């Protein structure tokens, strides 16, 4: 099996990600996040929100609606601006081309096979209300940031903010992608974590550099190795229609380098367009100098699922010959998911050494109840202790707490560290404090 197959298989086997509608044969590129997947996904989102709302200065949150006036999408250029061209897509490099750019039925970039021409717009259409005619057409948002732009004045005035400031939002976006491929990398329904930084036009270049660095550091701080990340400057002509400057933050996936986040200088494109189409004044007046201008926007736009896949790939390790410390080591290949402590879905596993000794099971359940409100914990009593350690390593659990015969006499438990496999005896009364020190 290649690495991607192994990741997909582990994801399904351990309840991270399931193909959607599987009992009906699946549904395109949709995936469902299982019990562990939802924990990991939420931890990624929390790490991003903590970064934006706690670590950085002057950023506030927003949760705008998915359904907005269709006028938003006219103004933003998503219904036009090349989005409705007849397009073909290369089946191997996924570049899209207008029909008139294609001479033979081969991709002009890589020579791959191309799809048949299609009238193509990425926006997903739906109807709102009881009528199903032109007047009822609405769109599922293709990027979360438009909800931020149309709320610029609401947020500015209600929060009495001053430029520069940011608005951060996490939410679902939808794109009718022609081809979907590579597991959760390219989907039609996905989540974005977007931050829009409103600043003075003269400061846009400076902030672009700042945010580019901050975003790179976020992935590094969460355990992604430097050599697996790169920033690619996108040249004019290849940028998104709104971008004056664009850097793709790429990860070295098993299927090659691919974008996980875009950093864009959107200039005054969005606010000017919304000002023009809505007739509302979206200028900012500097309270000190009195200067009036349309703020420029620096955007950081990350995909939740693409980050998920990057963190998962980065954490995935195979140890051939086994590394389990017990005498029961089978010397078979073991899997270790070395996720950062902020991201690991389960922080602590609570394990009775044996399940057929009533007093041990009772004590273990008491400890599980004590730990559970503080750290995401799992109780597991099935199988040998070595096998249970391996199961926990495979899902990235940071600590295993084992309750054994000695515990009943001396109130000590064994705490095993996922990465070093070192074991330490800790008093039950000190266990919470010990874990808090390690995990917080």
Residue 168: CB minimum distance to ligand GAP, A:
13
Residue 57: CB minimum distance to ligand GAP, A:
22
Residue 11: CB minimum distance to ligand GAP, A:
16
CB of 72 or CB of 336, closer to ligand GAP: 72
- Would you call 380 exposed, middle or buried from its count of C-beta atoms within 10 A (0-12, 13-18, 19+)? buried
CB of 186 or CB of 347, closer to ligand GAP: 186
Interface residues with ligand GAP (CB under 6 A)?
Answer: 143, 145, 175, 177, 186-187, 190, 192, 194, 259-262, 299, 301-303, 305-306
User: Of all residues in this chain, which one has the CB nearest to ligand GAP in the complex?
Assistant: 303
Residue 376: CB minimum distance to ligand GAP, A:
26
CB of 186 or CB of 390, closer to ligand GAP: 186
* Closest by Cα among 76, 103, 106 to 89: 106
Three state DSSP letters for the chain? CCHHHHHHHHHHHCCCEEECCHHHCCCCCCEEECHHHHHHHHHHHHHHHHHHHHHCCCEEECCCCCECCHHHHHHHCCCCCCCCCEEEEECCCCCEEEHHHCCCCECCCCCCEECCCEECCCCEEEECCCCCCHHHEEEECCCCHHHHHCCHHHHHHHHCCCCCEEEEEEEEEECCCCCCCCCCCCCCEEEEEEEEEEECHHHHHHHHHHHHHHHHHHHHHCCCCHHHEEEEECCCCCCCCCCCEEEEEEEEECCEEEEEEEEEEEECHHHHHHHHHHCCCCCEECCCCCCEECCEEEEEEEEHHHHHHHHHHHHEEEECCCCCCCCCCCCCCEEEECCCCCCCCCCEEEEECCCCCHHHHHHHHHHHHHHCCCCCEEECCCCCHHHHHHHHHHHCCCEEEEECHHHHHHCEEEEEECCCCCEEEEEHHHHHHHHHHHHC
CB of 190 or CB of 284, closer to ligand GAP: 190
Residue 302: CB minimum distance to ligand GAP, A:
6
CB of 121 or CB of 301, closer to ligand GAP: 301
CB of 148 or CB of 413, closer to ligand GAP: 148
Residue 261: CB minimum distance to ligand GAP, A:
5
Residue 152: CB minimum distance to ligand GAP, A:
15
CB of 43 or CB of 196, closer to ligand GAP: 196
Residue 338: CB minimum distance to ligand GAP, A:
23
Residue 17: CB minimum distance to ligand GAP, A:
13
CB of 126 or CB of 176, closer to ligand GAP: 176
CB of 301 or CB of 364, closer to ligand GAP: 301
CB of 83 or CB of 379, closer to ligand GAP: 83
Task: Report residue 271: phi and psi, to 5°.
Answer: -65, -35
**Number of CB atoms found within 10 A of residue 118's CB:** 14
In 264-273, which positions are buried (b, 16+ CB within 10 angstroms) versus exposed (e)?
Answer: bbbbbbbbeb
Residue 180: CB minimum distance to ligand GAP, A:
7
CB of 89 or CB of 143, closer to ligand GAP: 143
Residue 259: CB minimum distance to ligand GAP, A:
5
CB of 305 or CB of 380, closer to ligand GAP: 305
Contact (CB, 8 A) for 187 and 177 = yes
Cα 336 from Cα 397, distance rounded (Å): 9
Residue 206: CB minimum distance to ligand GAP, A:
21
- Would you call 203 exposed, middle or buried from its count of C-beta atoms within 10 A (0-12, 13-18, 19+)? middle
């Amino acid at each position: 099996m290649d690495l991607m197959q192994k990741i997909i298989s582990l994801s399904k086997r351990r309840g991270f990600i399931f193909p959607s509608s599987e009992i009906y044969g699946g549904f395109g590129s949709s995936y469902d996040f299982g019990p562990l997947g939802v924990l990991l996904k939420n931890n990624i989102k929390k790490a991003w929100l903590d970064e934006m709302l706690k670590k950085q200065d002057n950023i506030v949150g927003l949760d705008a609606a998915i359904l907005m006036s269709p006028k938003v999408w006219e103004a933003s250029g998503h219904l036009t601006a090349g989005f409705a061209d007849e397009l073909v897509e290369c089946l191997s490099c996924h570049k899209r081309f207008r029909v008139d750019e294609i001479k033979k039925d081969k991709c002009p970039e890589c020579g791959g096979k191309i799809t048949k021409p299609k009238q193509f717009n990425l926006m997903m259409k739906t109807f709102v209300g009881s009528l199903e005619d032109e007047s009822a057409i609405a769109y599922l948002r293709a990027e979360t940031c438009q909800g931020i732009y149309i709320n610029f004045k609401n947020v500015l005035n209600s929060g009495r903010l001053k430029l520069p400031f940011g608005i951060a939002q996490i939410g679902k976006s939808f794109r009718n992608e022609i081809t979907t491929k590579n597991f959760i990398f390219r989907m039609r329904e996905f989540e974005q974590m977007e931050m829009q930084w409103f600043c003075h036009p003269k400061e846009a270049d400076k902030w672009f550099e700042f945010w580019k660095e901050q975003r790179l550091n976020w992935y590094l701080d969460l355990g992604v190795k430097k050599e697996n990340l790169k920033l690619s400057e996108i040249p004019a002509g290849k940028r998104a229609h709104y971008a004056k400057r664009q850097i793709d933050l790429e990860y070295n996936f098993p299927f090659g380098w691919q974008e996980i986040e875009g950093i864009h200088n959107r200039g005054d494109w969005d606010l000017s367009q919304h000002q023009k189409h809505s007739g509302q004044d979206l200028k900012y007046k500097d309270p000190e100098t009195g200067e009036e201008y349309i703020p420029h926007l620096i955007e950081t736009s990350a995909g939740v699922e693409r980050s998920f896949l990057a963190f998962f790939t980065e954490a995935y390790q195979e140890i051939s010959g086994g590394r389990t410390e017990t005498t029961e080591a089978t010397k078979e290949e073991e899997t270790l998911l070395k996720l950062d402590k902020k991201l690991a879905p389960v922080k602590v596993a609570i394990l009775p050494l044996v399940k057929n000794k009533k007093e041990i099971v009772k004590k273990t359940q008491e400890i599980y109840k004590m730990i559970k409100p503080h750290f995401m914990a799992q109780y597991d009593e099935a199988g040998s202790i070595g096998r249970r350690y391996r199961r926990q390593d495979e899902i990235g659990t940071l600590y295993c707490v084992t309750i054994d015969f000695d515990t009943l006499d001396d109130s000590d438990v064994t705490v095993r560290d996922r990465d070093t496999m070192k074991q330490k005896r800790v008093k039950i009364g000190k266990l919470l404090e010990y874990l808090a020190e390690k995990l917080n």
